[in-house]
Amino acid sequence: MAIITKITTQQKNVDRFNVFMDYGKGKGEEFAFSVDSDVLIKFNLKKGMELDDFSFLEIQYQDDIRKAYNLAINYLARRMRSEKEIKDYLIKKEVDEPVINEVLHRLISQKYINDQEYALAYVRTQANTTDKGPDLIKMELKEKGIKDDILIDALEEYPREQQIEKATKMTEKIFQKNSNESLKIQKQKLEHLLLRKGYPFEVIQIAVDETEVEKEEDEEMKAVHFQGEKAHRKYAHLSGYEYQQKMKQALYRKGFSMDYIERFLSESEKS
């Protein structure tokens, strides 16, 4: 049976200790293992103590738990984390599954991990600081391992009124930004953007309806002229019926009505 001959503090980490032992094979004192201060105290390790194989394995197992626990605590110190995020992080650090399970159990019992509180805080933060819609936030929380029943409760922190307000502000910006495009294309781009951002279709429709999107006639004509001049540069080598058809097709696909297209072509012929 091996006997502890010396215990020293590590120079670079005063919370860890090096344990030296004599295995009775004539080699004298040898470095055996290192342990966390908590493990040292838990097993009351001291000079002259005898350790059998079972005790040695148990000490190592508890020390692995302690090291993984410290990793998790440092990871949590940056911000709140879900249970799955902690688990995935420890897996990347090549921590064994039994050790991970012990660490998660300890963190949950100490209330360092609480997926319900995490989900509530996440929804509030995303709703107040980003332009994400509820569907996108829901998807992100699912990826973080949050269960459906918790998701439903958490998303109540992002009421429909707030969703509509955010979507409406984005609607106004989009229409200002894309003034050189037809009203139809502007609406299509807006709907696609808001869907990608995770807003429900009902919210998108309300936001579009509540935003003053009807262009003045001269604004729509400016847009058709802008797009028409671009199309003309592409089809200027054509003439007659073929030119007219290509121009009509191009502008129709850009969302302009035949009335505006005919007016543009008529004005172009006169100039």
The answer to whether residue 105 is domain-embedded is no
Is 140 within the bounds of a domain?
yes
Listed in sequence order, the residues at least 6 apart from 143 whose beta carbon sits closer than 8 Å to its beta carbon are: none
Asked if 139 and 170 sit in the same domain, the reply is no
For 178-216, the pLDDT digits (tens) are: 667 787 888 888 889 999 999 999 999 898 887 655 555
Residues 225 and 246 in one domain: yes
Find the CATH number of the domain harbouring 137: 1.10.10.10
**Is 99 part of a structural domain of the chain?**
no
Distance CA 247, CA 239 (A): 11
Any domain includes 36: yes
Find the mean pLDDT for residues 68-96.
96
Report phi then psi at 50, rounded to 5. -95, 140
Per residue in 105-120, pLDDT tens?
Answer: 999 999 999 999 999 9
Domain count, the chain: 4
| The predicted structure's pLDDT at residue 162 | 96
> Is the predicted pLDDT of residue 39 greater than 90, yes or no?
yes
How distant is the alpha carbon of residue 59 from its chain centre?
A: 38
Residue 93 has pLDDT above 90, yes or no: yes
Give a yes or no: residue 180 inside a domain.
Answer: yes
Q: Pick 46 or 220 by higher pLDDT.
A: 46
Q: In the prediction, which pLDDT does 23 show?
A: 85
How do residues 70-82 score in pLDDT, each as one tens digit? Answer: 999 999 999 999 9
Alpha-carbon gap, residue 20 to 7, rounded angstroms: 6
Same domain, 139 and 126: yes
For the chain, the average pLDDT equals: 90
217 neighbors 259 (Cβ within 8 angstroms): no
- Taking CA 44 as the corner, what is the angle to CA 10 and CA 54, rounded to the nearest 5 degrees? 95
Residue where a domain stops, chosen among 170, 191, 210: 210
Answer whether residue 119 is part of any domain.
yes
171/225 same-domain check: no
Same domain, 168 and 204: yes
Give pLDDT tens digits for 152-171.
999 999 999 999 999 998 88
**CATH number of the domain within which 251 lies:** 1.10.10
The reply to whether 191 falls in a domain is: yes
- Once rounded to an integer, what is the mean pLDDT over residues 28-32? 90
pTM of the model: 0.72
pLDDT at 120: 97
pLDDT top residue among 113 and 218: 113
Backbone dihedral angles phi then psi of residue 22, each to the nearest 5 degrees? -110, 115
- Residue 231 dihedral angles phi and psi, to the nearest 5°: -65, -40
In a domain, 83, yes or no: no
Structural domain harbouring 192: 160-210
With vertex at residue 41, the alpha carbon angle to CA 39 and CA 44, rounded to the nearest 5 degrees, is: 105
Lowest mean pLDDT among 36-40, 81-85, 266-270: 266-270
